[in-house]
Structure 1
Amino acid sequence: MTAGNDPSFLYEPLERFGAGITGSRPWNLNALAGVERLNGRVAMLGFAAALIGEALTGEGVLGQLVLMLRWVLG
């Protein structure tokens, strides 16, 4: 028996794009809120790391990438 015919595999029905955000299932909203919160925090850490790297090296973002490539490649 394949997965498509096996009743023990319960898949969610297909939704139109964006329907999960505005649908009647509140667990979707909570999951999206958590993911977006984590994404925002990681973005803030990346921005802070770029500012710290610029302050330490005196180079902008592209200059830091060049310095990193030189360091990695020897």
Structure 2
Amino acid sequence: MPNDSDYRYEPLEAFGESLTTRRPWNTQALVGVERLNGRVAMLGFVAALIGERLSGVGPAGQVLAALRWYLNLG
């Protein structure tokens, strides 16, 4: 059975410290994550525009229609 010395834990830090300090591993990870989030947001925006063009209903109307459809299935 493994003991605690077999695991390599990250050092303890104060709440939110990793978001405010400049550590090389932290900034590189955040750059990649934020780039991915931005690209997914752009795809979502384009999908909403295409859906509006096809259906004639804006994004909020599409969400409401989907909720009405889902709630009427029950």
* Fold equivalence (TM over 0.5): yes
Structure 1 residues 21 and 67: CA distance shift in structure 2, 3 A? closer
Specify every segment of 5 or more residues in structure 2 that has no aligned partner in the other structure, as ranges: none
Q: Residue 69 of structure 2 corresponds to which residue in structure 1?
A: 70
Identity %: 61
Q: Bigger CA drift: 20-29 or 48-57?
A: 20-29
Cα distance in structure 2, aligned partners of 1:61 and 1:46: 10
Instruction: Indicate how the Cα distance of structure 1 residues 31 and 67 shifts in structure 2: closer, same or farther if over 3 A, else same.
Output: closer
Q: How far did residue 11 of structure 1 move?
A: 1.0
TM-score (ref. length: structure 1): 0.72
The alignment's C-alpha RMSD in Å is: 2.5
Q: Paired residues, what number?
A: 70
C-alpha displacement of 1:30: 0.1
Taking the aligned partners of 1:54 and 1:45, their CA distance within structure 2 comes to 14
Richer in helix (by share): 2
